[in-house]
Amino acid sequence: ESLNEMAIAINVVNVVSPTRNNVSAPSSMPQGTINHTYHNKPEPSKQTQVQNYKLMLGAKRKQLNHAASILLSKAEKYEQMVSKERTFWTEALSLRQKNWSIKGYGKSGGQLFVDYGYKEAGSLYEENTWAQIQRTPNDKQIAISFPPIRKRVMKLRLERRLHGFDDRMDTFELKPSLRPEKISGSNMHQQLLAAQSAVFESELFDKILLEASSLLGVKMIENEMLIPVYDNVDLTIQWTDANIQEGSFLVSPEFDQPAYLNESSTCTILKIAMNLLLRRHHKQNLENMQKEVLNSGQERIYNEAQVLTLPLHLLRYHFFCNKIREIGNRIIKPSRDGGIPVQLHFINSLINGQDILDIVLKTNTIDEEATLDSLRVTLESPCTAVIHLAHSDLRTQDLHQFAMFLERELRLLLLKIIHKEIKALSCIKNSAWEGMWTVDRVMLVIVRPMPPVLTSKQAAKHHGVNLRRRRMTEITIRNNYPKPGTMAICVSSPGNETELGVEPIFEELVIGDASILGINANSRRDFADRVHEFLIGMV
């Protein structure tokens, strides 16, 4: 519209103007032809100026107050947001301080996940172990969301079968004191520990189940397996529900434990050993992963963890050693109660064994010859006893054979002590002990070669030798006679001549526990002294 008006105005000027100026050759105009007249207002008074300044300051203050109110409202809103985020990130920071692995999902990390598994530690167990950190609907607290977890735990129990019935020997229950870290800290930290323990128990049971399937004699019933260990002793492994609260997934602090359960029980040690073997397997896998990264061309090799075979091997060796200890104590108890200097020592090295032997010899003032009567037995895993003899070594797995050999060696030791006392009395002429006595190591008897008993008619030819004196021909030792837990030194001879014929003579010295024999326990003396008195009495 402005352009149209300007065009119309130019046409009107051209028509009205008498002459048409040459635009190409403009003429000069005198100075002052074009001018403008300004209207100067009067200067305002001081009161007016002051009032204008007040109005201007008031308008600025109003604008500043409005801007400040906007900033304060936004700051309050942001403060609430920061407070909520501080609660969230403080909890996340506390988890990082507890060494939990946290990873974000998305570009801005809007979702956070915590890894409570053992994959980064070398575990190959296929299980979802990522828990998401979430805000509650009211945004005042945070929560953690777990994937479906089998809330179960592995329990061990040792049982001995007696006459067809099970006699519980030992047991293991889930105890908070056996956890790798004491349960303390925030609620989320406790939930992660409980979930981590559940995953570890699940992996451990799967490994044990895989190994047990290749063993002989293993019985499996649902979530329970029965493994024979040694001599009617069975190991029961049960996969059962853990004592975990619903919702919070925390271990109850008041766990009902049996009275016979203690930290040093066999099952507790067995369970800890299985845990350590699985962790060692994780460490080996982690080392293989690192080698694979360093050597890209190397093929990854992972071996299966033996978390059941090795502990079961040691468990059988444990019961085998206990059985050997029971046999040894049962055999030497009557001799030890009878004052015989015999002792049983279990050592873990030959160096320590020599030190123990030196201490025993000094304490009991045993002469140097006693060292020749020592018997050394090596117990090899799982169930082998190696008896070191002078000429060779005897290996056996039969406990009955070992008991018979130990009894034989003990009887031979006693016969040597008796033979030593007889030699001291053999110098007495015309006595029962006169002559040459020998120890028969095969028959385990002390004998003296002597002619047969003479009759009265034959006695005249032998210068009137008194044939009615006791003439001993052999000395033997009987175990568990006359009562169990005792032994007797039996001295027998062909006998004395009577009117009815030759009457055999039998004398015995019973040794053993004073409570079994019914004598005063304080009267128990050294075995050699008692044998000496017994032999003197028979002279």
Q: Is the pLDDT of residue 244 over 70?
A: no
Mean pLDDT of the chain: 76
For CA atoms 167, 172, 175, 178, the dihedral sign is positive
Distance of CA 124 to the CA centre of its chain: 22
Q: Which of 29-43, 208-222, 321-335, 477-491 has the lowest mean pLDDT?
A: 29-43
Treating both helix axes as pointing N-terminal to C-terminal, what angle do 46-97 and 187-212 enclose, rounded to 10 degrees?
30
- pLDDT tens-digit readout, 390-440: 788 889 988 899 999 999 888 888 888 888 888 888 777 666 677 778 888
Distance of CA 122 to the CA centre of its chain: 20
Give the Å distances, CA to CA, from 6 to 19, 92, 175, 414. 20, 75, 102, 150
CA distance 249 to 246: 6
Most confident of the ranges 8-22, 363-377, 421-435, 447-461: 421-435
Most confident of the ranges 52-61, 151-160, 341-350: 52-61
Q: Is the pLDDT of residue 187 over 70?
A: yes
| Type of residue at 252 | S
Q: Is the pLDDT of residue 470 over 50?
A: no
CA distance 510 to 490: 9
Task: Indicate the pLDDT class of residue 74, thresholds 50, 70 and 90.
Answer: very high
Distance of CA 62 to the CA centre of its chain: 76
Helix (H, G, I), strand (E, B) or coil at 526: coil
Measuring CA to CA, which residue among 501, 490, 491, 435 is closest to residue 467? Answer: 501
Return the domain boundaries, the chain. 64-307, 410-538
Percent of the chain with pLDDT over 90: 10
Give the Å distances, CA to CA, from 142 to 86, 88, 91, 189, 349. 11, 6, 8, 12, 58
- pLDDT tens-digit readout, 502-526: 556 678 888 876 665 555 544 556 7
Residues in the chain: 539
Instruction: Name the strand (E) or helix (H) holding 472.
Output: none
- pLDDT tens-digit readout, 77-123: 998 888 877 877 888 888 888 888 888 876 655 678 899 999 888 88
Output the pLDDT for position 455: 55
What's the rounded mean pLDDT across residues 52-80? 91
Measuring CA to CA, which residue among 500, 503, 499 is closest to residue 453? Answer: 503
Most confident of the ranges 109-123, 202-216, 488-502: 202-216
Q: How many helices (H) and strands (E) does the chain have?
A: 10, 17
Output the pLDDT for position 67: 92
144-172 residues labelled b (16+ CB within 10 A) or e (exposed)? bebeebebbbbbbbbbbeeeeeeeeebbb
